[in-house]
Amino acid sequence: MKICVLPGDGIGPEIMAQAVRVLDALDLKLEMEEALLGGCAVDATGNPYPEATRKLARAADAVLLGAVGGPKWDALPREQRPERGLLGIRKDLNLFANLRPAILYPELANASSLKPEIVAGLDILIVRELTGDIYFGQPRGIETREVEGTPQRVGWNTMIYAEYEIRRILKVAFEAAQKRGKKLCSVDKMNVLECTQLWRDIADEMANDYPEVELSHMLVDNAAMQLVRAPKQFDVMVTGNMFGDILSDEASMLTGSIGMLPSASLDADNKGLYEPSHGSAPDIAGKNLANPLATILSAAMMLRYTFNQEAAAQRVENAVKKVLAQGYRTGDIFEPGTNKVGTREMGDAVLAAL
Ligand SMILES: NC(=O)c1ccc[n+]([C@@H]2O[C@H](COP(=O)([O-])OP(=O)(O)OC[C@H]3O[C@@H](n4cnc5c(N)ncnc54)[C@H](O)[C@@H]3O)[C@@H](O)[C@H]2O)c1
Ligand SMILES: CC(C)[C@H](C(=O)O)[C@@H](O)C(=O)O
Ligand SMILES: [Mg+2]
Is 245 a known active-site residue? yes
Packing angle of the helix pair 310-325, 293-305 (nearest 10 deg): 160
User: What pLDDT, on a 0 to 100 scale, did the predictor assign at position 92?
Assistant: 97
Where exactly are the structural domains of the chain?
1-96+261-354, 112-255
What band does 268 get if pLDDT is binned at 50, 70 and 90?
A: very high
Is 189 a known active-site residue? yes
User: What pLDDT, on a 0 to 100 scale, did the predictor assign at position 62?
Assistant: 98
User: What pLDDT, on a 0 to 100 scale, did the predictor assign at position 224?
Assistant: 98
The atom of ligand 2 lying closest to the CA of 245 is 11
pLDDT tens readout for residues 179-233: 999 999 999 999 999 999 999 999 999 999 999 999 999 999 999 999 999 999 9
Is 135 a known active-site residue? yes
Q: Report the 10 Å Cβ neighbour count for 305.
A: 19
The atom of ligand 2 lying closest to the CA of 68 is 1
In the predicted structure, residue 21 carries a pLDDT above the cut 90: yes
The CATH code that applies to domain 112-255 is 3.40.718.10
CB neighbours of 151 closer than 8 A, spacing ≥ 6? 144, 145
Distance 162 CA to ligand 2 centre (A): 21
For the residues 231-257, what does the mean pLDDT come to?
A: 97
Q: Ligand 2 pocket: which of 11, 73, 78, 87 to mutate (most atoms <8 Å of CB)?
A: 87
For the residues 72-84, what does the mean pLDDT come to?
A: 95
For the residues 161-170, what does the mean pLDDT come to?
A: 98
User: What pLDDT, on a 0 to 100 scale, did the predictor assign at position 206?
Assistant: 98
Cβ pair 254, 102 in contact under 8 A: yes
Q: Among the options 92, 123, 249, 348, which is catalytic?
A: 249
User: What pLDDT, on a 0 to 100 scale, did the predictor assign at position 98?
Assistant: 98
Average of per-residue pLDDT values in the chain? 97
Q: How much of the chain exceeds pLDDT 90, in percent?
A: 98
pLDDT tens readout for residues 312-331: 999 999 999 999 999 999 99
pLDDT tens readout for residues 121-148: 999 999 999 999 999 999 999 999 999 9
Cβ pair 80, 49 in contact under 8 A: no
For the residues 51-68, what does the mean pLDDT come to?
A: 98
For the residues 57-64, what does the mean pLDDT come to?
A: 97
Ranking 15-19, 115-119, 292-296 by mean pLDDT, the lowest is 115-119
Ligand number nearest CA of 90 is 2
1-96+261-354 and 112-255 agree in CATH topology: yes
User: What pLDDT, on a 0 to 100 scale, did the predictor assign at position 270?
Assistant: 84
CA-angle at 41, arms to 60 and 101, nearest 5°: 55
Query: Is there a binding annotation on residue 171?
Result: no
298 lines ligand 2 (CB under 6 A): no
Peptide bond into 276 cis (omega under 30): no
User: What is the fold, at CATH topology level, of the domain defined by 1-96+261-354?
Assistant: Isopropylmalate Dehydrogenase (3.40.718)
In the predicted structure, residue 76 carries a pLDDT above the cut 90: yes
pTM above 0.95, yes or no: yes
pLDDT tens readout for residues 83-111: 999 999 999 999 999 999 999 999 999 99
State the burial class of residue 190 (Cβ atoms within 10 Å of its Cβ: 0-12, 13-18, 19+): middle
Burial letters for 60-81: b for 16+ Cβ neighbours within 10 Å, e otherwise? bbbbbbbbbbbeebeeeeeeeb
DSSP 4-66: EEEEESTTHHHHHHHHHHHHHTT----EEEE---SHHHHHHHS-SS-HHHHHHHHHSSEEEEE
